[in-house]
Amino acid sequence: MRLNFVYWICLTLCAGPTFAEPPTVSESGQDLVDFDTEIVPVLTRFGCNSGACHGAAAGRRELHLSLFGSDPGFDFQSLAREFQGRRINLVQPDESLILMKPTEVLLHGGGNRFDDDSDAAELIRKWIHQGAHRHELRKLESFAIAHRKISNTLDSTTFSISATATFDNGSTMDVTPWTVITVDDPDAVQIDLQTFRAHITRPGRHVAIARYLDHVTPLIFLIPFQNETHETHSIESANFIDDSINSLLTELRIPASEASSDTEFLRRVTLDLTGRLPTPEEVLSFTHDSSPGKRTAAIDRMLASKEFASYWTFLLSRWLRIRAAPQDVEGAEAYHSWLHQQIADEIPFTEIAASLLLAEGDTHDVGPANFYRTTGGPREQAEFVSEFFMGSRLRCANCHDHPLDHWTQDDYHGLAAIFAEVTSGRIIETKANAEVIHPKTGDAAVPRIPGERTLQNAEHGRSTFTDWLVSDTNPYLARTIVNRVWKEFMGRGLIEPTDDIRSTNPPTHPELLKQLEIEFRRSNFRLKPLIRLITSSSAYQRSSRPHRDNEFDQQFYSHALSRPMSAEVMCDAISDVLGLPARFGDKPLGTRAVELPYPQIESKELDVLGRCERTESCEGSETMTGGLPRFLHQYNGALINTRLSHSTGRLADCLQSENSPEVIIEEFYLRALGRLPNDEEWNFWRDELKNSSNPREFLEDVVWSLCTCQEFRTNH
């Protein structure tokens, strides 16, 4: 124990960088090891500066490094200068803590990171031998990674991987050994870091993320399925959407399902455009119509309806998280009313965005001013703005630079500084000399457009940011809205999650997303042309019924995805089928759930069905489905059962009529499922009817089964 103490004293005394002169190097500097572009990548490659190690917010033990080497200057001070440079031994480089710890010559909590005779150790040893300086010889300009298929068997496909860095002095370097590669599915993609090869054991699309210094880039592997048939059947390409989707299906050898039937299409598009079920009259009229353009006509008819404006106001209210402030419903009602008018008047989304961002005044009168009552302060406002308008999780750059994107702490706190000027409360106005503190500097953050530039003192923050956001050259707004709208119709975004758009989270169909952005801009950022384009595609109009060779597909659109109804749409659908409207607080009887301006309005039905409270994003699957309580209440609760046995309502009216049970069954099938019973269902119900002594109980069972079945609960 005493000898260990003496050893540590000697090690500390000998570690100071002043005890040796730096070696002589060539004047050109070609032989120098560059700390920023050679030593820092070693630390990243072996996890030393990761969030689980010394890159944590508070560091680990006595050593604190910047996350993934985002601040080389800070890292140099920590490694070479902190504690009088005791981590570096210029006299005996091999006895430097920076070498002895990761090679576990000395006990190291992080275990052995690399061997003493490895290239990593040799590079660090060489740097120390040269004097452990920070020369800042060059800066990284670009980083590229490539892969090449080298073998293909029934069990796996193997690719070689190479990475190249280009620097501002014109030099390039093979940085494959110092590149960090992570994969989205480790069970399907194994990276051999000794041979720099990727072994893919499962067909499909797989994404790996490669990092060198602060540059991250995706690496995409496409492995075809071993299907015997992969044609897209008889489905035609209605527009460029289908060209893109069918091309990838062909490349992956995934067959497409057939086109949806007329009844499937009408139910799906009616729910998507108006938030309600088609009526029996609409179903029968549509199926009897033999005109070739009837689907396009139905889309246009619904887009022009008042129900479209109401339902899409509801959807955007969820996106914008409109809810009433405590003891103040007037603001939310004004906000909802204003938004409804924007949708009804087909106001371009650029104008909607500008109205929200620049709004001021009494929130009871100026609807969009309530946008600034959504969050609890400038930082939360910056996060919400970046997620809603830019599809970016700027929040990941609060405590450190974003580890997977280009956002910096300056971007985060600079945008927050722009919104610090906005007052909170009922009256929204601009206040002078407002600020947020940058945690890294301890000073007031400088207002900044994220990823672009800091603002001059004379510039008005919100106006400048808004002009940038809605400009023709802005890359974020169109992409974000297009991706959100696409998800509403197709069940998933071209980029998922929709608020996490970044280069390292690439779209499944990049060219399709780009073309949709172009079309959205061409139509002046109006929603209806975009919606018409999507709903007219063969991809949207495919059947949701998969078959053996595409049932696994959840991202390539070989078949339509079944989507759970929101609580509000489900509540309205049950009311429409049963003919008994639900009550919502003090709202007039007959008010539809999708027309409610905010989620705090009293409703046991909506609570049971799991409505989104809009305190956070409403995109989560648990929020959408309502979980187990929703299903239990549907099966056993008052939501359906009480209204089924009610003395009024649709079933009671049918029983009082002279219609046969078969006619009544047909009506409820048309109302609930948008179709007539098939032969198997008819045979089942006729057998049940023969064995029933109570027609009402029998028909209650029929209606109950329709309102609780999977086909009713989903849009498919």
Is residue 80 a part of any domain in this protein? yes
Predicted pLDDT of residue 332: 98
Q: How far apart are CA 344 and CA 336, in angstroms?
A: 12
CB 401 within 8 A of CB 49: no
Mean pLDDT of the chain: 91
R_g of the chain computed on alpha carbons: 31
pLDDT at 414 over 70: yes
pLDDT bin (cut points 50, 70, 90) of residue 13 is very low
Q: How far apart are CA 417 and CA 421, in angstroms?
A: 7
Per mean pLDDT, which range of 105-109, 262-266, 302-306, 358-362 is the poorest?
A: 105-109
Is residue 700 a part of any domain in this protein? yes
Residue 29 and residue 120 in one domain: yes
pLDDT at 622 over 80: no
Quick check: helix, strand or coil at residue 182?
A: strand
Q: Which of 197, 223, 249 is a domain's end point?
A: 223
Q: How far apart are CA 685 and CA 201, in angstroms?
A: 48
Query: What range does the domain containing 189 cover?
Result: 140-223
Residue 123 and residue 151 in one domain: no
Predicted pLDDT of residue 230: 52
The tokens describing 277, both together, are 């079920």
Is residue 554 a part of any domain in this protein? no
Buried b (16+ CB within 10 A) or exposed e, 140-177: beebebebeeeeeeeebbbbebebbbebeeeeebebbb
pLDDT at 41 over 60: yes
The tokens describing 346, both together, are 């087909």
Residue 42 and residue 148 in one domain: no
Residue 688 and residue 568 in one domain: yes
Q: In one letter, which amino acid is 267?
A: R
pLDDT at 2 over 50: no
Average pLDDT of the segment spanning 689-705? 93
Predicted pLDDT of residue 55: 81
Q: How far apart are CA 214 and CA 580, in angstroms?
A: 60
Average pLDDT of the segment spanning 315-319? 98
Residue 185 and residue 212 in one domain: yes
Predicted pLDDT of residue 109: 78
Is residue 44 a part of any domain in this protein? yes
CB 371 within 8 A of CB 359: yes
pLDDT at 9 over 50: no
Predicted pLDDT of residue 621: 46
Quick check: helix, strand or coil at residue 186?
A: coil
pLDDT bin (cut points 50, 70, 90) of residue 26 is very low
Residue 163 and residue 183 in one domain: yes
pLDDT at 89 over 50: yes
Residue 704 and residue 576 in one domain: yes
Q: How far apart are CA 504 and CA 511, in angstroms?
A: 16
Which one, of 124, 37, 36, 120, lies nearest residue 72 by Cα?
36
pLDDT at 6 over 50: no
Residue 618 and residue 707 in one domain: yes
pLDDT at 670 over 90: yes
* Percentage of the chain exceeding pLDDT 90: 79
End-to-end CA distance of the chain: 72
Q: What is the CATH number for 175?
A: 2.60.40
Which one, of 621, 617, 616, 594, lies nearest residue 606 by Cα?
594
Residue 120 and residue 157 in one domain: no
Exposed/middle/buried for 190, CB within 10 Å: 0-12, 13-18, 19+?
A: middle
Average pLDDT of the segment spanning 515-543? 98
pLDDT at 530 over 90: yes
Is residue 478 a part of any domain in this protein? no
Per mean pLDDT, which range of 191-205, 223-237, 692-706 is the poorest?
A: 223-237
Quick check: helix, strand or coil at residue 392?
A: coil
Average pLDDT of the segment spanning 53-78? 87
Average pLDDT of the segment spanning 391-400? 94
Residue 618 and residue 701 in one domain: yes
Per mean pLDDT, which range of 43-52, 279-288, 637-646, 664-673 is the poorest?
A: 637-646
Kindly state the DSSP code that residue 78 receives in the 8-state scheme: I
pLDDT bin (cut points 50, 70, 90) of residue 135 is very high
pLDDT bin (cut points 50, 70, 90) of residue 23 is very low
pLDDT at 227 over 70: yes
Span 453-505, pLDDT tens digits: 999 987 899 999 999 999 999 999 999 999 999 999 999 999 999 999 999 99
pLDDT bin (cut points 50, 70, 90) of residue 432 is confident
CB 65 within 8 A of CB 57: no
Span 147-181, pLDDT tens digits: 999 988 877 899 999 999 999 999 999 999 999 99
Average pLDDT of the segment spanning 671-696? 95
Q: Which of 203, 223, 243 is a domain's end point?
A: 223
Average pLDDT of the segment spanning 427-452? 94
Structural domains counted in the chain = 3
Residue 31 and residue 163 in one domain: no
Q: How far apart are CA 474 and CA 523, in angstroms?
A: 16
Span 243-272, pLDDT tens digits: 999 999 999 999 999 999 999 999 999 999
Is residue 494 a part of any domain in this protein? no
pLDDT at 97 over 60: yes
pLDDT at 620 over 80: no
pTM of this structure: 0.91
Buried b (16+ CB within 10 A) or exposed e, 476-505: bbbbbbbbbbbbbbbbbbbbbbbbbbbebb
pLDDT at 77 over 80: yes
Q: Which of 170, 198, 223 is a domain's end point?
A: 223
pLDDT at 355 over 70: yes
Is residue 676 a part of any domain in this protein? yes
Residue 697 and residue 638 in one domain: yes
pLDDT bin (cut points 50, 70, 90) of residue 628 is low
pLDDT at 18 over 70: no
Average pLDDT of the segment spanning 404-429? 95
161's CB contacts (< 8 A; 6+ apart) are 145, 146, 147, 176, 181, 191, 196, 197, 198, 219
Predicted pLDDT of residue 231: 57
CB 540 within 8 A of CB 493: no
401's CB contacts (< 8 A; 6+ apart) are 67, 70, 214, 407, 408, 409
Q: How far apart are CA 233 and CA 250, in angstroms?
A: 11
